[in-house]
Amino acid sequence: MTPNLHNAASQPSFAGEHRSTTRASAARWKTGAGPAVLPLPHAASETPKVSLQGISLSYKTNGSRLLAIDNIDLKVRAGEFLCIVGPSGCGKSTLLHLIAGLHKPTSGHVLIDDKVVEGTGTDRILIFQELGLFPWLTVGQNVEFGMKMKGLSTAEREEKTRYYLRLVHLSQFKDSYTHQLSGGMRQRVALARALATEPDVLLMDEPFAALDAQTRDLSCVVHISSRSDQARISG
Amino acid sequence: MKRAARQVIFYAILITLWVLLAKLKIWPPYIFPTPWGVLEALTGGFKDRSFWIAIAVSMKRMLLGYGISVALGMVLGLGVASNKFLEETMGGLLVSLQSLPSICWLPLAVLWFGLTEKAILFVVVMGSLLSVTIAMEDGRKQMPKIYGMAGRNLGARRFKLFWHVLLPASLPYIVTGLKQGWAFAWRSLISGEMIFVSLGLGQLLMMGRDLSDMSQVIAVMILIIAIGYIVDGLVFKTVERRLQNKWGLTPAT
């Protein structure tokens, strides 16, 4: 049987904005049709934080092969904020999962600091579209989880948990369970959990879907944008 | 309240029927005992401590055998659920073995271990291991995939991933299976204890038969039912409800 290769949907396209300290307020989003890596100011000399080389992913459905992602190259440097846009089903989430190391690409490589990575790593934290908060843990324990896996001391974990919960305005819900919170609050827990792990690359899948307008403008976003050495990719 | 009243009426009718049948003296009392005879056997058994000793001995075996089953079943079930090769090969075997009543292992156990404690434990383990294993496997499969992904994403690997994520995430799904495993283990234990002078509840039952003391047989049966009900209705139901509340599977009241 010969594999039947065909494109599932149009590929995701990329719109990027470089936030340097001098241009932090300039929010200009460019959208384009088809994959495109945007020109970036003063980036030529730096090595990219994240780079994808010829990433493709296909899988079998009902006997035929479905090509979900077709040969994508991109580079994101530290301090950049890359936004992937496209219609639903075009592979935005899948691409983020690939960068996070949750799936293996059919071909191509994911490189962090010019080194090929395989599997997951706390240098790349993904905020899932469906959040994936742990219902058996309290809000505080959820935020603490990544730090615990990294082997941070209890004192350090407590201090950072407090800090990040305050950042997302959820200090008084530290001991609540996630099913007791509203959708927007849960999303903020997921945000705090990802930030608390202090990754070099923050991957966000529909990160602000359930946040209200006020929160979007507030500290979380300010914080996300404040670390100049972090690369952020959102889909 | 109405429900409780109905239950009281139901049991009252049942006991009245029993009294009537016993009063009619169709069968001799050593074949068909009277309710007060059974009550006497119950109080007598507790008074001369033979029931307490039997309960303690049986419970000790139960905890040991069930403990082994849960530990082994966890490893087996998770292995089968997370390995395609094991699933395709051992998965089918496990399901087919489950149709084998646990007492069928008894001749084998007696030949291997003799009339010893080990033979009973073996029957208990074989009786509950399969249902625990299958429950674990199902639980692991039913568990939403997102938890495993989120765990890996946050740096949990191998044992840490299993202990901190996969196990707690599948707990609400496997607790039902653990409960079933307990019920199977309990049944296997009583049948296993019947084979020799083992001091347990099963042996008390056989002793009643040997002495043609039907009152004692019925009294021990009531005891076995009561213990099974207490463990199932109180221990497991409470654990189940607590888990569901904590996990947010039922609306918190």
Q: What is the mean pLDDT of residues A17-23?
A: 37
Parent domain of B239: 33-246
DSSP string, B192-246: HHTTS---SHHHHHHHHHHTT-HHHHHHHHHHHHHHHHHIIIIIIHHHHHHHHHH
**Do both B113 and B226 map to the same domain?**
yes
- The segments of chain B whose pLDDT lies below 50 read 251-253
How far apart CA B37 and CA B19 sit, in angstroms, is: 11
Q: Give the domain A1-120 fold.
A: Rossmann fold (3.40.50)
Query: How far, in Å, CA of B175 to CA of A39, rounded?
Result: 55
CATH number at residue B188: 1.10.3720.10
* DSSP track, A11-79: PPEEEEEE--GGGTT-------SS--PPP-TT-SSSPPSEEEEEEEEEEEETTEEEEEEEEEEEEE-TT
Chain-chain contact of A197 with B154 (C-beta, under 8 angstroms): yes
CATH numeric code, A122-229: 3.40.50.300
Predicted pLDDT at B69? 92
Residue A197 phi, psi dihedral angles, 5° rounding:
-75, -10
Instruction: Please work out, in degrees rounded to the nearest 5, the angle formed at the alpha carbon of residue B39 by the alpha carbons of B37 and B40.
Output: 65
Interface contact flag, B248 A179, Cβ < 8 Å: yes
Residue B12: per-residue pLDDT? 93
Convert A217-226 to b/e letters by CB count within 10 Å (16 or more is b).
eeebeeebee
- Torsional class of A2: left (φ above 0), alpha (ψ -120 to 50), beta (otherwise): beta
> Nearest CB to A122: which of B149, B155, B165?
B155
| A20 pLDDT tier (thresholds 50, 70, 90) | very low
Q: Identify the three-state secondary structure at position B48.
A: coil
Same domain assignment for residues B27 and B37: no
Give the one of A121, A125, A177 whose C-beta lies nearest to B248's C-beta: A177
Report the chain A residue with the minimal C-alpha distance to residue B157: A149
Q: Is residue B61 part of a domain?
A: yes
A96: nearest CA partner in chain B: B153
Query: What's the CA gap between A191 and B29, in Å, rounded?
Result: 74
Tell me the chain B residues in contact with residue A193 when contact means C-beta distances shorter than 8 Å: 154
**Distance, C-alpha B26 to centroid of its chain:** 36
Size of interface A-B (CB pairs under 8 A): 64
Q: In the block, which residue shows the tokens 């976003």?
A: A221
Average pLDDT over residues A166-177: 87
* Cα gap A7→A151, rounded to integer Å: 43
CA distance A165 to chain B (A): 17
pLDDT in the model for residue A31: 37
CA nearest B154 in A: which residue?
A: A146
Q: Averaged over A29-51, what is the pLDDT?
A: 53
Q: What is the pLDDT of residue B83?
A: 79
Which of A:152-181 have CB within 8 Å of B?
177-180
Residue B159 burial (CB < 10 Å; 0-12/13-18/19+)?
Answer: exposed
User: Chain B residues with CB inside 8 Å of A125's CB?
Assistant: 153-154
CA distances to A129, B10, B20 from A215, rounded to whole Å, are 18, 61, 76
Q: Where are the domains positioned within chain A?
A: 1-120, 122-229
Please classify residue A3 by burial: count the beta carbons closer than 10 Å to its beta carbon, then call 0-12 exposed, 13-18 middle and 19+ buried.
exposed
| pLDDT for B66 | 92
The band of A213, judged by pLDDT with boundaries at 50, 70 and 90, is low
Burial of B229 (0-12, 13-18, 19+ CB in 10 A): exposed
ipTM associated with this complex: 0.72
Count the domains in chain B.
Answer: 2
| Mutation to test the B interface, candidates A104, A117, A134, most B Cβ within 10 Å | A134
A223 pLDDT higher than 60: no
Say if residue B230 is in the same domain as residue B121: yes
Q: Are the C-beta atoms of A72 and A11 separated by less than 8 Å?
A: yes
Q: Which of B147, B171, B246 sits opposite A132 (nearest CB)?
A: B147
Per-residue pLDDT, B9: 93
- Determine whether the interchain pair A145/B164 forms a contact, defined as Cβ–Cβ distance below 8 Å: yes
Please tell me the predicted confidence (pLDDT) of residue A38: 47
Structure token digits, residue B72: 């082994």
CA distance B74 to B124: 16
Angle in degrees, CA B13, B19, B21, rounded to 5: 100
- Whether residue B38 is found in the same domain as residue B69: yes
Using a cut of 0.80, tell me whether the model's pTM lies above it. Answer: no
User: Measured between beta carbons, which residues in chain A are less than 8 angstroms from residue B155?
Assistant: 120-122, 146, 149-150, 197
Tell me, yes or no, whether B62 lies in a domain: yes
pLDDT (average), residues A197-226: 68
B7 and B66 inside one domain = no
Dihedral sign of CA atoms A121, A185, A92, A224 in order: negative
Report the C-alpha gap between B133 and B136 in whole angstroms: 5
A78-126 pLDDT tens trace: 888 888 888 877 888 888 888 888 888 888 888 888 888 888 888 888 8
Does pLDDT of A6 surpass 80?
Answer: no
The verdict on B27 and B53 lying in the same domain is no
B252 occurs within a structural domain: no
Q: Is B212 left (phi over 0), alpha (psi -120 to 50) or beta?
A: left
Domain A1-120 matches domain A122-229 at the CATH topology level: yes
- B118 occurs within a structural domain: yes
* A120–B152 CB contact, under 8 Å: yes
Chain A CA closest to residue B248: A179
Where is A186: in which H helix or E strand? helix A183-196
Determine, yes or no, domain membership for B251.
no
% of chain A beyond a pLDDT of 70: 71
Do B154 and A193 lie within an 8 Å CB cutoff? yes
pLDDT at B17: 92
Q: Are residues B15 and B128 in the same domain?
A: no
Rounded Cα distance between B216 and B207, Å, is: 9
Q: What kind and span of H or E run contains A204? A: strand A201-204
DSSP B162: I
